[in-house]
Structure 1
Amino acid sequence: MVSSPSPSRGWSTGTWSCSRSPGPLPAAPPAVIDRPPSSQPGTERSQRLTRTLDLRQKSIEVIEQNQSPSKGLVACPTFKTYNYCWLRDGTFIAYAMDRVGRHDVAEGFYRWVNDVICARADRVERLIAKARAGEPIGPDEYLHARYNLDGTDGQEDWPNFQLDGYGTWLWGLGEHIRRTGNRRLAVEFRTAVDLTARYLEEFWARPNYDCWEEHGDRVHPSTLACIYGGLRTVGEFAGEVEARGTRNKGGRGAAGSGRSGLSRTADRTADLIKETVLEKGVTNGRLVKSFGSAEVDANLLWVSTPFRLLEPTHPVMVSTVEEIERVLLTAGLHRYREDTYYGGGEWILLTAFLGWYYCETGRVDDAKRLLRWIEAQADEDGLLPEQVPHNLNDPDYYPVWVARWGEIAKPLLWSHAMYLVLAEEVAAAEGGARAEASGPGAPAEADAGAAHRKGKAADG
């Protein structure tokens, strides 16, 4: 395990990472470890890749091949520290598979999480009871952030009190139900949904580790956005679960008969979360990384995209993205300014989130530029890493992390997933633009991405 005070994962969403600051640097980095490349792949390599490899199909294959028999989704199969399934990473991976029509992969993951949570029902009830009684709760008592692929708890030391993954799972389950029309899952998973929602309602205001597995003594707007998105989803589906649940046998009391109550409490908590973020998470008209901080983090994109705590065009969100672009965007997007995990490079998945936001705000050309950049980061086998060591925040830390954990994680399933999402968003945006330009009398475009976009709008 990392010897640093906060062994974060290097990425977030998934497995990782990162606080990843390993403590004081050695007097000199190991001479046997090369410095990161000083130049990055350019247009020529990108064109070569698109000629020889369908990165979309490769990304689907990478995800399918790394779903375990239990249906958990490993963060990275070749990086020991990431040989686990995170609810956060896994949900975004499953969402990407829903976007490309591989609903079987997504449903398998959601069933895996359902089983993981139901197996810990007694723990959730004990935690809620202790919190309401004012009893202390140790850091190892909370639900974990990552699990072994067989659904058991990992035994290694890890900053496990992270709430973002549980909110993200609720949101992703709702997206899966909307996209597939399989509303029976809302009833089938009602116990796990109820447990997760009540767990989040009880603990959302407590400091816990962020998506980078750092700063467990703070409250983070990005985490609150994940919880907000999940609880809003519960509010939408709870009434239907109640109506259908009364017709099912053997339903638990809390889940079977209290769904309208759950809907109300979920919505009330979501409203309170939004008020809290706007009151404590905004400085100088923009969002901050953590309450009490003035720093910006790329994960703040989640406040609007996809969790909609704020709309993408909300003035606070616009100012936040402008600061993210000013401070963190080079060719790709960095996590935060002081990031030193593998030197603090450009993250594939965060670059895709920024491109997704651009699509939602009409900046399609900017989104396409980021999509091309992501494609250029794939290696000769079409594999995408967690980050690329270009334009590093602190190059001295790159060899330190290579010596500690090996080369940068690759393939990172979350990176492949977010590439798929951005590709779908760009296709949808371009399809909508073509249809609008052709006028009302022109034939409808047969654009799968546009169909996804229209379907989501109709559901919303």
Structure 2
Amino acid sequence: MKALHDVLESMRLPNGTYIASPSQDYSYVWIRDVCYAVLPYLTSNCDRYQKTYHALLDLFLRYEWKIDIHTKKKPVLPYEYIHARYSKDLMELTVPWGHAQNDSIGLFLWGTGVGIRQGKPMIRSDADRRILQKLVDYLACLEYWQEPDNGMWEETVEIHSSSVGACVAGLKSINMLVDIPAHLIEKGEAALRQLLPRESFSKQTDLALLSLIYPFGVVSRNMAQRILEDVTSTLERKFGCIRYLGDRYYNGGREAEWCFGFPWLGLCYSMLGEDRKAHEYWEKTISILPEDGTIPELYIGGTDRPNGNKPLAWAVAMAILLQERIEQSATVGKNREKMYDKI
């Protein structure tokens, strides 16, 4: 556990955010990656979690003028959207990018709300609350429930279940903090009922669907089990999971195998109370986890070689989170045994 935390800490920036990886390609700050990377500190006594969110709030405050525009007028060109990726000092980059990523905004809102419920001092001022309201208004302007976006993998522009679900989770999470008309959540839930179990028009199943189970918990148990069955039967491989059938990223004759697929599946099964399956995926995670904790992004398709994005902060965080759940489950089991011994 310490090795994993040390690796994660090595990617933490002085401003409180995280680079996705120290590699040349990933030495940037993605909103999504940051929110996943800091999850291991949600229930800790340290201040890392809220400091990370404060840095992101400061980022949104810097670009509040842009958010203001697009609470009234839908963005059209990629650069008009709230950017998904930034420099280490949290400035927008001019390189063309698929910034239409509604799931990252939903994830940020969700993470703010759960932080408050954990007793974290997430909101520092009226300005922070104002930004949260404007992010809600931004999603409303987009009509996120029917708005095609680049999705979690920053690729094909279409309506993604994982993006809609992230927004639903985010809006529910901060529903008591700001003004959220009921229809904003209702329309998202209705869209999910129509879309699921598909991820999108082009993809029957996709690793991104796991987010609807962990961390968001916005699907029923039956739907969660359907998603897990689809992912494990279609996408699971030796070194992790492919993102979707036909994925061309680092394809070496076959789709690349993403390492965080194993701990993510374990976390999903843990959410459903299926501790045995969670433990099974922890064992699979251990099988691909280097001794120094530098878990890579993926193994190049058709090979036993990881790519250069090593370690990946998101993957390291997932491994930490699953290990904590496994250890907690073992402690509960031992306490039950002691209780029964006394009876």
Superposed CA offset, 1:232-260 (max 9, x none) = 1110x31xxxxxxxxxxxxxxxxxxxx3x
Letter in 2 for 1:83: S
Report the equivalent of 1:162.
101
Report the equivalent of 1:13.
none
Q: CA distance change for structure 1 residues 366 and 186 in 2, over 3 Å: closer, same or farther? A: farther
1:305 and 1:146 mapped to 2: Cα distance? 23
1:310 and 1:442 mapped to 2: Cα distance? 39
Report the equivalent of 1:215.
156
Q: Number of residue pairs matched? A: 337
1:211 and 1:107 mapped to 2: Cα distance? 23
Counterpart contact for 1:342–1:408, Cα < 8 Å:
no
SS of the residue 2:14 aligns to:
coil
The alpha-carbon deviation at position 429 of structure 1 amounts to: 2.7
Which residue of the other structure, out of 32, 56, 60, is the alignment partner of 1:117? 60
SS of the residue 2:139 aligns to:
helix
1:202 and 1:442 mapped to 2: Cα distance? 60
Which residue of the other structure, out of 27, 30, 36, is the alignment partner of 1:92? 36
Report the equivalent of 1:335.
243
Report the equivalent of 1:358.
269
Letter in 2 for 1:418: M
Superposed CA offset, 1:246-283 (max 9, x none) = xxxxxxxxxxxxx3xx14x2x4312210111112x13x
- What RMSD over aligned residues (CA atoms) do the two structures have, in Å? 2.5
Does structure 1 residue 172 correspond to structure 2 residue 111?
yes
The alpha-carbon deviation at position 88 of structure 1 amounts to: 0.8
The alpha-carbon deviation at position 340 of structure 1 amounts to: 2.8
Report the equivalent of 2:27.
83
Report the equivalent of 1:273.
188
Computing the radius of gyration from Cα coordinates, the structure with the larger value is 1
Superposed CA offset, 1:359-379 (max 9, x none) = 122322222222122223233
Report the equivalent of 1:206.
147
1:34-433 → structure 2 map (5 Å cutoff): 56-77=1-22, 79-99=23-43, 101=44, 103-131=46-74, 137-182=76-121, 185=124, 189-203=128-142, 204=144, 205-216=146-157, 218-235=158-175, 237-238=176-177, 259=178, 262-263=179-180, 265=181, 267-279=182-194, 281-282=195-196, 287-290=197-200, 292-293=201-202, 295-311=204-220, 313=221, 315-331=222-238, 332-343=240-251, 344-389=255-300, 392=301, 395=302, 407-433=307-333
Is the deviation greater in 56-65 or in 144-153?
A: 56-65
Percent of aligned pairs with the same amino acid:
23
Counterpart contact for 2:19–2:28, Cα < 8 Å:
yes
1:102 and 1:377 mapped to 2: Cα distance? 30
Q: CA distance change for structure 1 residues 184 and 162 in 2, over 3 Å: closer, same or farther? A: closer
> What is the TM-score when the length of structure 2 is the normalising length?
0.90
2:110 and 2:243 mapped to 1: Cα distance? 23
Counterpart contact for 1:384–1:415, Cα < 8 Å:
yes
> What is the TM-score when the length of structure 1 is the normalising length?
0.68
SS of the residue 1:379 aligns to:
coil
2:209 and 2:294 mapped to 1: Cα distance? 26
Is the deviation greater in 89-98 or in 370-379?
A: 370-379
Counterpart contact for 1:95–1:175, Cα < 8 Å:
no
The alpha-carbon deviation at position 97 of structure 1 amounts to: 2.3
Counterpart contact for 1:168–1:226, Cα < 8 Å:
yes
Counterpart contact for 1:297–1:335, Cα < 8 Å:
yes
2:203 and 2:80 mapped to 1: Cα distance? 31
The alpha-carbon deviation at position 302 of structure 1 amounts to: 1.4
1:367 and 1:186 mapped to 2: Cα distance? 40
2:141 and 2:337 mapped to 1: Cα distance? 49
Superposed CA offset, 1:109-136 (max 9, x none) = 11110011111111111122223xxxx7
Superposed CA offset, 1:194-242 (max 9, x none) = 12121122211311101111111x000011111111111110x31xxxx
Gaps of 5+ in 1: 1-55, 239-258, 444-460
Letter in 1 for 2:185: A
